[in-house]
Amino acid sequence: MSILIVTGIEGAHNCATVVGGQLGMEVEVAEGRKAALSALRRREFTAVVVDETMAECDPAAAEAVWEHAGLAIPLQINFALAGSARLVREIRAALHRREREQALARRAATAAIETELKTTVAGLLLHSQLALSGGDVPAVLADKLRVVADLAGSLRQQLSASATGPWRYRTLTRPLIASRSGRLPFVPMLFFPCCRSHPAPLMP
């Protein structure tokens, strides 16, 4: 991880050395817009810190830096008033906020995936049971539908289980992604034993 400091203030390189040592990160200094944009084109940064004085004097330059910062955390600090200690605190706080936001986003994505999977599995189970309830289902197809119903019921129980872990996220995302291909491969990939590919059953 690395940080880009955009400022023309005297002693910026010394400040960058202190900040890098405190945070255990590489810190690069750009003394103006041209140098900052060149650095941003060359590599990605975890955070971009722009001198507030420079941003006020040249708003267009600051805006150009923000537009090219990508996913870097944007920070604006008055280097004339803030020392290296405050800069370290501000950057560390911003990094912690980003980590919390990413953790929340991952949990929200996992919850959304599980909700969609539960809906898909419930529909699959219902339709297979309805198909089995018909009296004109050929024996071969009925056997396959029973497999579908049994495995769908088992998967629904796993989704409803209170235990969570990394295995659930990794294994349950594959059928969801496959189901969005437009060819509805969710059912045959997981359940039909007559398919060419037989993924391992979902196990904790």
Domain ranges in the chain are: 2-82, 107-190
Return the pLDDT at 49: 92
Q: Does 4 have pLDDT greater than 90?
A: yes
Helices (H), the chain: 12-23, 33-42, 52-57, 59-67, 84-133, 139-160, 166-179, 186-190
Helix, strand or coil, per DSSP, at residue 82: coil
- Residue 39 is predicted with a pLDDT of 92
Least confident of 50-64, 77-91, 111-125, 166-180: 166-180
Mean pLDDT of 18-29: 90
Give percent of the chain above pLDDT 70.
Answer: 77
Average pLDDT over residues 156-182: 47
Q: What is the pLDDT of residues 42-75, one digit of tens each?
A: 999 999 999 998 888 889 988 999 999 988 999 9
pLDDT of residue 173: 36
What average pLDDT does this structure show over 111-117?
82
Predicted confidence at residue 41, as pLDDT, reads 92
**pLDDT class for 167, splitting at 50, 70, 90?**
very low
Given a contact cutoff of 8 angstroms between Cβ atoms, the answer to whether 152 and 124 are in contact is yes
Annotation: CATH topology of 2-82: Rossmann fold (3.40.50)
Between CA 180 and CA 201 the distance in angstroms is 20
Predicted TM-score of the model (pTM): 0.57
Q: Quick one: average pLDDT of 99-126?
A: 84
Nearest to 160 by CA among 119, 196, 106, 107: 119
Give the mean model confidence (pLDDT) for residues 6-25. 89
For residues 204 and 165, is the Cβ–Cβ distance under 8 A?
yes
Most confident of 9-13, 36-40, 134-138: 36-40
Q: CA 115, CA 42: separation in Å to the nearest integer?
A: 41
Using alpha carbons, list the distances in angstroms from residue 201 to 122, 130, 144, 158. Answer: 18, 24, 16, 11
68 burial level (CB within 10 Å; 0-12, 13-18, 19+)? middle
CA distance 12 to 8: 7
